[in-house]
Chain A
Amino acid sequence: EAQVTQNPRYLITVTGKKLTVTCSQNMNHEYMSWYRQDPGLGLRQIYYSMNVEVTDKGDVPEGYKVSRKEKRNFPLILESPSPNQTSLYFCASSFFVGITDTQYFGPGTRLTVL
């Protein structure tokens, strides 16, 4: 089954404790992206990747890191989480053939930073 998976789905942590949210897709997609969703603010792009070893900042990259060492995986790293990073996070992926392909979203990760 073609899908985007994220782990963990729920996470409660404390300020300053490094964490990683994994994202994996099995569709051989070149493009992957991370978004955060906050009430009243919609979806905001954190980072995206056009292919292996190619990443770029979205609109709200501060406090986040990403890596793309393999095509299927695009982990989101919070080196020192803070309460303002409490949010619902979505990973998305698609083929990249110009602007013709649908972005498929993962199920989301709800993160709470105390």
Chain B
Amino acid sequence: GENVEQHPSTLSVQEGDSAVIKCTYSDSASNYFPWYKQELGKRPQLIIDIRSNVGEKKDQRIAVTLNKTAKHFSLHITETQPEDSAVYFCAANLGNTGFQKLVFGTGTRLLVSP
């Protein structure tokens, strides 16, 4: 089955710095990679996702890159702000299942200090 590893488990940055969170996956048939943000005591919310037919996707200060050969994908947050502080989860679908079966990473706690 799919295995998703996420690093680092915690990340502290100063406001305005960039933050990068990395994930690797094991199932070469996986083709959907979403990222979720979970603020303290709240539900996870999708912030960006990428399909395997593209290598990079951007949405304002957030970008995701995908390297299918190496089976890893990364979340990049530029010009971080205190409100970016949260736990971020990557996920990958079990190959060829659409998004029905998602396997999540263990999460990265991002702390942005003013």
Are A and B a genuine interacting pair, yes or no? yes
CB distance from B10 to the nearest CB of A (A): 12
Q: Would A45 and B45 be within 8 Å (CB), given that A40-B106, A59-B1, A99-B51 are in contact?
A: no
Measured between alpha carbons, how far is A86 from B105 in the docked complex, in Å? 20
Q: Would A42 and B43 be within 8 Å (CB), given that A98-B98, A103-B99 are in contact?
A: no
The answer to whether A90 and B44 touch across the interface, beta carbons within 8 angstroms, is: yes
Q: Which residues of A contact B102 (CB under 8 A)?
A: 45, 103
Q: Which residues of A contact B73 (CB under 8 A)?
A: none
Number of B positions contacting A (CB below 8 A): 23
Interface string of A50-84 (1 = CB under 8 A from B): 10000010110000000000000000000000000
Name the one of A42, A102, A106 contacting B89, with C-beta atoms under 8 angstroms: A42
The answer to whether B46 and A102 touch across the interface, beta carbons within 8 angstroms, is: yes
Q: Which residues of B contact A94 (CB under 8 A)?
A: 99
The answer to whether A42 and B99 touch across the interface, beta carbons within 8 angstroms, is: no
The answer to whether A42 and B104 touch across the interface, beta carbons within 8 angstroms, is: yes
Q: Which residues of A contact B44 (CB under 8 A)?
A: 43, 90, 105
Number of A positions contacting B (CB below 8 A): 26
Total A-B residue pairs with C-beta atoms closer than 8 Å? 51
Q: Which residues of A contact B58 (CB under 8 A)?
A: none
CB distance from B24 to the nearest CB of A (A): 14
Q: Would A99 and B89 be within 8 Å (CB), given that A42-B107, A59-B1, A108-B43 are in contact?
A: no
Q: Which residues of A contact B99 (CB under 8 A)?
A: 94, 99, 101, 103
For the complex of A and B, list the 6 residue pairs with the smallest distance between their C-beta atoms, beginning with the closest.
A105-B43, A43-B104, A42-B104, A42-B106, A99-B32, A99-B98
Q: Which A residues are within 8 Å of any B CB, using their own CB?
A: 31, 33, 35, 40-45, 48, 50, 56, 58-59, 90, 94, 96, 98-99, 101-103, 105-108
Q: List 18 A-B contacts (CB under 8 A).
A: A31-B100, A33-B100, A40-B106, A41-B106, A42-B6, A42-B106, A43-B44, A43-B89, A43-B91, A48-B100, A90-B43, A90-B44, A94-B99, A99-B93, A101-B99, A102-B46, A103-B34, A103-B46
